[in-house]
Structure 1
């Protein structure tokens, strides 16, 4: 059975996600206020529940069934509670000293990776407060970073801004999404970070696609693809995105050419080599994007098949996630 040596807000959030309970439901299940649960998740690994709450959380985990415990372990990514506390202490020490070191930047990066996995099992709204907190922490670290650390510190702020933009999309906060994507792109450009710059621009293109701004979407997609120093997964995503934009713009011949290029690019993806910030750009997920292109071209039957195959090939928690809703809707169309 899974055991937690010392609960922090990070483990508590993972348990709620594993049990698939809302904030209100989880608070009622534990017998505490919703405000307390919200505070745990906002502060993440930087907060340690009181001793009596440690026992209550132990009991809740012990009563979880096998599938729930497996989800709990997956969400934590095998990291220990002591490791999370050590990471929080590194950040706190750096902020107190007014001097950022690589370990502090790595600590926030680790928390961000965990929050991305948590979103897979919950929703954008659930992780938003924690991501906002980490973005504020990362900004402070960047402010105090010396030249040898500044590039990675500012790059991390860019990645968090891009993630905040992504989280704004399911809530249809379009202006917020644009603001975050624009800031992410500026920061990535400042430190010559091609991966994060292309990510910010391609996500901004995605926002424009969803809001029907096809000319802007195409321009942003072209800008994102201009620098070839990006990983194959991101390049494949951008190729599918370009095909979808062209299909929606009724340029079917160009869309089919772009789709052929995108399918070829799938062969160059090594899932084990994908960056942490792009772990979802797998052939399984991108097959669903092929379905989006086919749907825009009017081939609904083929689009449904591609979406269904995509969902079947994904990990179960991804297939059930909020961000895979479009895949599910297309498969059932």
Structure 2
């Protein structure tokens, strides 16, 4: 953010224009006489506010949002250009105001790209910022953006199936958690704990994941929705571990939470998970009932969710000799979409389901 080392009438005028205030309104904002501000405007760099007034201007600039800082620095660069012969008295520590705005905008684009499984584009946006700045040179706002970028990198790696190792989701999530802990933002730390539990489950450590989910399901740092998701994932881990009836009870409780919260997409995902739990228990009638609800109510704009739904549906159809061929067709279609979007973890799950299709209990699949 911009810092003025020594105010003159020039910087004061630039701040007024950046705030989009009239001379009178600016004077009222600072608690000064209109004549004082008019003098600054007339004499520009040939006049300097008193020390106590300099502090008032420091405060006004410090309270301004990023868009004001962007306009202020742009105006100063124009007013102190080579034709004026005046050197600017402003510096910026770390990223400048407009860089913060661009960074935040890019993170919004990353979220959209990840939802569409456009991994290459998301990765290029994240790399642009994570390679540009180092955490020691950032202020709190910069650190927040850095941590959020690192967490989104974890989401990208998780969706690509890179769960363990130095370039994995686990590594990225742990790094983001460290920064959010430093910033003392408990909600974000708890969300990272939830993400770390997911990759723990994906790596096959079901007991550890289930314990973490159980703790987070009653953790007040999380929103009610995130606590319900943790409860649902307790059931997922239990089902993968073969405890299908217990998993069903836990999942039903999460489903009721999503209904109370009016979260239709989460509600649909919960029915998908319930379907797999009932398949594991051998109750194919209920499994088909739940997967039909999930398929008719869920949003399938995301390739990831479409693949997950089709994989669950195919898994259930494959469990009955009468619908086995239909199940293979559904799984083949899911595999094509997964390959198209680079969903490596989902491809492995589909291959595992096919390989174990003769067994009475399907593979562990997320």
If asked which structure has higher relative contact order (CA below 8 Å, sep 6+), I would say 1
Equivalent residue for 2:196?
164
> What residue ranges of structure 2 are gaps of 5+ in the alignment?
1-117, 358-366
Match for 1:240 among 269, 272, 283?
Answer: 272
Identify the match of residue 93 of structure 1 among 139, 150, 161: 139
Q: Which residue of 2 aligns with 1:206?
A: 236
User: Match for residue 109 of structure 1?
Assistant: 148
Aligned-residue CA RMSD (Å): 3.1
TM-score (norm 2): 0.55
Question: Where does 1:130-209 land on structure 2 (aligned, <5 Å)?
Answer: 130-141=172-183, 144-145=184-185, 153-154=186-187, 156-187=188-219, 190-191=220-221, 193-209=223-239
Contact 2:147 2:176 in 1 (8 A): yes
For residues 121 and 211 of structure 2, the distance between their equivalents in structure 1, rounded to whole angstroms, comes to 32
- Pick closer, same or farther for the CA change 1:238–1:297 going to 2, 3 Å: farther
| CA deviation after TM superposition for structure 1 residue 111, in Å | 1.6
- 1:125 paired residue number: 164
Unaligned 5+ runs, structure 1: 1-70, 95-100, 146-152, 272-278
Q: Any idea what SS the aligned residue of 1:172 has?
A: coil
Aligned residue runs from structure 1 range 25-40, under 5 A: none
Higher normalized helix content (fraction of residues): 1
CA distance in 1 between counterparts of 2:336 and 2:327 reads 14
CA contact (8 A) 2:130 2:146 kept: no
Q: CA 1:322–1:253 in 2, change beyond 3 Å: closer, same or farther?
A: closer
SS at structure 1 position matched to 2:275: helix
- Between the aligned partners of 2:119 and 2:289, the Cα distance in structure 1 is 43
Q: Quote the residue 1:285 is aligned against.
A: 308
Question: What's the CA shift string for 1:129-151, capped at 9, x where partnerless?
Answer: 3322322333343xx34xxxxxx
Alpha-carbon distance in structure 2 between the residues aligned to 1:286 and 1:88: 40
For 2:295, the equivalent position in structure 1 comes to 263
1:148 match: none
1:76 to 123, 133, 140: 123
Question: TM-score, normalised on structure 1?
Answer: 0.59
Indicate which of 210, 225, 248 corresponds to 1:218: 248
Q: 1:322 to 1:247 in 2, by over 3 A?
A: closer
Q: Cα–Cα, structure 1 residues 140 and 170, in superposed 2: closer, same or farther, change >3 Å?
A: same
* Number of residue pairs aligned between Structure 1 and Structure 2: 233
Larger radius of gyration: 2
Alpha-carbon shift at residue 105 of structure 1 (Å): 4.4
